[in-house]
């Protein structure tokens, strides 16, 4: 009976296979050019909401449809490219920032873009805190239009690093449309009007399609006429989509990428530029971990190269205790701090540091002082199997030298609330960082980012407090002088080495796959003009503007 049933199914399947052959990827555009399919698995269907201020929908609109005042490239030392603003200037002891707004730019509905739109956008954020995802109004006091093409930003204190958020992260929206939106938080903005090179032309839960804006203000860019982003519910199918050559631009984690993807087709390649650190956050309020020698011993006891190889297929390179992501931010690296740190993996030094501090190996092979063993639990995000594997390797290394580590993979949602609330001994996690190392250092070390154990801290999860470091960070925030900035960053690196408030383990990378036989213009290590991963806003829009179809 069941045999027959199976046979019937097979026949049905066969019939359907033949019928599905007519289905290809979406139809070619009117120009005859093949559309570019993006591969960006999010595990959900598309909401078709394009509100550029909400983190749930901004990844699908900022950079492509909506643009920012400037483009700031993290991979080129925070290089500023004028975008909707043609120029900017600091004045009034770095408390006033004046943008000159570009002329000749049009919204995609044909109306002209002006300085009034910029002033309107920022005042909209002031009026609606739910939209102010970058908290720019925590440092702004006013934003006003001045003359026909200038907008003046007044800050409550000198806040130079906020330039990145104000100029590089806040998308500018048209006043003539948004002033009529009754509730800008809950309005899905299903037909976004921006200044960008691409117009969202069709959205279904299964696919978002963009077409090039023929009147784009930067002539010669946006040569790919049609861009599709299918919704993938699983990493499996998304990876297969790349491997079978249906997509030429992906942002996927692929195990065994060389055989699975690169070898499949000429032109396939990948580049994983590092942008931040994945680190161990020692809870500084926990006995043992509040001891500098123990933290340093942990840092020296980690064979980062081996963690990288086993836990991450070598995709994420080993990090440095100085906290500087190499090679991306190598120009910030302090040779003094590097020298003080010495070899990053030095188990003998780790042991001698502990012995010097009064610890002795007990009968179980664990260092202990006054009967208190160095035994800690590290929590990691249970949703990321690569992180768990990395921590298993790291835990075994440290346990071997006498610091007993237990790995506790915590369910994703629980993990974040535990990290925020400081309910951990050691936590393995990543900060957002920014276009220069300062941003990650500030997130790590600024005491105002922290909170008492039990209440949520947005960053500084280890609860580090140092008036000297706060002063350095404030001083950096008040200067535009590059030499001063470098000197401050060097001092902070020395503190990272000497106090080890955070223990960087690996470098977080951008996931990026491409086929450069089908399209030219992708960012490369030699020309890293934007962060290449499809989830970086507004960078991915900048990349799409620069792609050119070959053939």
Partner 1 sequence: MRFLVRRLGFLLVALWAALTVNFFIPRLMPGNPAESMMAKFHGHVNPVAIKALEVAFGINNHQGLISSYFEYINNTLHGNLGLSLSYFPIPVSTVIMRALPWSLGLVGISTILGFVIGTALGAIAAWRRGGILDNVLPPAFIVISAFPYFWIGLLCVWFFALTLGWFPILGGYTETATVAWNWGFVGDILWHSVLPAFTILLTSIGGWILTMRNNMITVVAEDYVKMARAKGLKPRRVLWQYAGRNALLPNLTGFAMSLGFVISGAILVEYVFNYPGLGFTLLQAVQNEDYPLMQSLFLLITVAVLVAIFISDVATALLDPRTRSSS
Partner 2 sequence: MRLFSSIGNVLLRSFKFLRRDKKAAAGSIIMFVLLVITAFPTWFTPHDPSAEIYTPGAGLSWSHLLGTTSFGQDVFSQLIAGTRQSVMIALIVGFISTVLSVGIGITAAYSGGIVDDVLSLVTDVVLVIPTFPLIIVITAYLKSASFWLMVLVLVITGWSYGARQLRVQALSLRNRDYLLAARARGESSWYVICVELIPPMTSLIVANFLGAALYAVLTAAGLQFVGLGNINTESWGTMLYWAQNNEALSIGLPLWALAPGVAIAILGSGLALLNYAFDEIGNPALRPVSAKRLQKARA
Residues 224-283, interacting with partner 2 (CB under 8 A): 235-236, 255
Q: Provide the token pair at 6.
A: 């199976």
**DSSP secondary structure letter of residue 106:** B
Task: Specify whether the CB–CB gap between 548 and 521 falls below 8 A.
Answer: yes
Calpha distance 194→170 (Å, rounded):
13
Q: Provide the token pair at 240.
A: 């297969």
Q: Provide the token pair at 190.
A: 């299903």
| Least distance from partner 1 to the Cβ atom of residue 417, Å | 5
Q: Binding to partner 1 by residue 47, rule CB under 8 A?
A: yes
Which residue is listed with tokens 């706060």?
470
Which listed option, partner 2, partner 1, none, makes contact with residue 54 (CB within 5 to 8 Å by class)?
partner 1
The DSSP bridge pattern shows strands 426-430 and 140-146 to be: unpaired
| Least distance from partner 1 to the Cβ atom of residue 352, Å | 35
Which residue is listed with tokens 């090039």?
212
Of 535, 483, 541, 7, which is closest to residue 275 (Cα–Cα)? 535
Which listed option, partner 2, partner 1, none, makes contact with residue 392 (CB within 5 to 8 Å by class)?
partner 2
Which residue is listed with tokens 């992180």?
387
From the list 89-97, 100-108, 186-194, 476-484, the region that binds partner 1 by CB under 8 A is 186-194
From the list 86-94, 180-188, 215-223, 485-493, the region that binds partner 1 by CB under 8 A is 180-188
Per DSSP, helices labelled H in 130-174 are 163-168
Which listed option, partner 1, partner 2, none, makes contact with residue 416 (CB within 5 to 8 Å by class)?
partner 1
Among 162, 165, 300, 428, binds partner 1 (CB under 8 A): 165
Q: Provide the token pair at 249.
A: 């631009």
Which listed option, partner 2, partner 1, none, makes contact with residue 48 (CB within 5 to 8 Å by class)?
partner 1
From the list 18-26, 280-288, 402-410, 508-516, the region that binds partner 2 by CB under 8 A is 402-410
The secondary structure of 296-328 as a DSSP string is HHHHHH--HHHHHHHHHTT-SPBP-TT---TTT
Q: Provide the token pair at 222.
A: 């946006």
Site for partner 1 in 129-148 (CB under 8 A): 129-135, 138
Site for partner 1 in 198-217 (CB under 8 A): 204-207
CA distances from 474 to 77, 158, 203 (A): 20, 9, 45
Assign 3-class secondary structure to 475-495: HHHCCCCHHHHHHHHHHHHHH
Which listed option, partner 1, partner 2, none, makes contact with residue 389 (CB within 5 to 8 Å by class)?
partner 2
Q: Which is nearer to partner 1, 187 or 335 (CB)?
A: 187
The DSSP bridge pattern shows strands 249-250 and 513-515 to be: antiparallel
Which listed option, partner 2, partner 1, none, makes contact with residue 327 (CB within 5 to 8 Å by class)?
none
Q: Binding to partner 2 by residue 382, rule CB under 8 A?
A: yes
Q: Binding to partner 2 by residue 396, rule CB under 8 A?
A: yes
Among 91, 144, 146, 187, binds partner 1 (CB under 8 A): 187
Q: Binding to partner 2 by residue 413, rule CB under 8 A?
A: yes
Of 547, 543, 545, 524, which is closest to residue 535 (Cα–Cα)? 543
Site for partner 1 in 415-434 (CB under 8 A): 415-417, 420, 429-432
- Per-residue binder mask for partner 1 (CB under 8 A), 266-285, x = binder: ----------x---------
Q: Binding to partner 1 by residue 477, rule CB under 8 A?
A: no
Which residue is listed with tokens 């009026």?
127
Calpha distance 241→253 (Å, rounded):
13
Among 4, 20, 182, 454, binds partner 1 (CB under 8 A): 20
Which listed option, partner 2, partner 1, none, makes contact with residue 352 (CB within 5 to 8 Å by class)?
none
Q: Binding to partner 1 by residue 30, rule CB under 8 A?
A: no
For binding to partner 2 (CB under 8 A), which residues are involved? 235-236, 255, 382-383, 385, 388-389, 392, 396, 408-411, 413-414
């Amino acid at each position: 009976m069941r045999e027959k049933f199976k046979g019937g199914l097979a026949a049905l399947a066969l019939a359907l296979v033949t019928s599905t052959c007519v289905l290809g990827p979406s139809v070619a555009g009117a120009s005859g050019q093949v559309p570019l399919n993006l591969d960006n698995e999010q595990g959900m269907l598309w909401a078709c909401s394009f509100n550029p201020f909400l983190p749930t929908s901004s990844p699908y609109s900022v950079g492509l449809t909506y643009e920012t005042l400037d483009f700031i490239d993290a991979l080129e030392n925070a290089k500023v490219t004028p975008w909707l603003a043609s120029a900017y200037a600091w004045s009034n002891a770095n408390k006033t920032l004046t943008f000159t707004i570009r002329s000749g730019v049009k919204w995609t509905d044909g109306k002209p873009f002006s300085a009034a739109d910029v002033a309107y956008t920022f005042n909209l954020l002031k009026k609606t805190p739910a939209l102010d995802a970058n908290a720019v109004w925590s440092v702004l006091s006013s934003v006003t239009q001045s003359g026909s093409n200038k907008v003046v930003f007044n800050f409550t204190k000198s806040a130079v690093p906020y330039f990145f958020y104000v100029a590089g992260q806040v998308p500018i929206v048209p006043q003539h449309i948004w002033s009529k939106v009754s509730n800008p938080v809950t309005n899905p903005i299903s037909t976004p009007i921006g200044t960008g090179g691409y117009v969202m032309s069709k959205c279904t839960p299964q696919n978002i399609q963009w077409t090039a804006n023929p009147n784009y203000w930067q002539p010669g860019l946006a040569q790919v006429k049609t861009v599709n982003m299918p919704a993938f519910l699983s990493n499996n199918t998304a990876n297969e989509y790349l491997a079978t050559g249906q997509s030429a631009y992906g942002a996927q984690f692929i195990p065994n990428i060389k055989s699975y993807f690169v070898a499949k087709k000429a032109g396939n390649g990948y580049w994983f530029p590092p942008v931040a650190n994945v680190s161990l956050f020692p809870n500084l309020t926990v006995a043992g971990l509040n001891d500098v020698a123990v933290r340093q011993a942990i840092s020296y006891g980690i064979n980062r190269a081996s963690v990288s190889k086993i836990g991450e297929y070598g995709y994420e390179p080993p990090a440095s205790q100085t906290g500087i992501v190499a090679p991306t931010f190598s120009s910030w690296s302090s040779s003094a701090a590097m020298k003080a740190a010495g070899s990053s993996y030095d188990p003998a030094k780790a042991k001698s540091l502990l012995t010097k501090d009064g610890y002795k190996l007990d009968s179980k092979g664990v260092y202990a002082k006054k009967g208190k063993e160095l035994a800690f639990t590290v929590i990691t995000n249970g949703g990321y199997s690569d992180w768990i594997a990395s921590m298993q390797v790291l835990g075994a290394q440290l346990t071997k030298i006498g610091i007993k580590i237990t790995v506790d993979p915590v369910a994703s949602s629980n993990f974040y609330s535990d990290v925020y609330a400081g309910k951990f001994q050691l936590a393995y996690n990543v900060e957002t960082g920014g276009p220069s190392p300062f941003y990650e250092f500030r997130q790590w070390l600024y005491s105002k980012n922290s909170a008492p154990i039990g209440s949520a801290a947005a960053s500084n999860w280890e609860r580090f407090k140092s008036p000297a470091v706060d002063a350095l960070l404030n001083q950096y925030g008040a200067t535009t002088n590059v030499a001063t900035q470098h000197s401050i960053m060097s001092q902070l690196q020395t503190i990272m080495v000497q106090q080890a408030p955070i223990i960087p383990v690996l470098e977080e990378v951008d996931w990026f796959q491409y086929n450069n036989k089908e399209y030219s213009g992708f960012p490369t290590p030699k020309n890293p003009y934007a962060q290449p991963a499809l989830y970086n806003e507004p960078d991915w829009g900048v990349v799409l503007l620069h792609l050119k179809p070959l053939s």
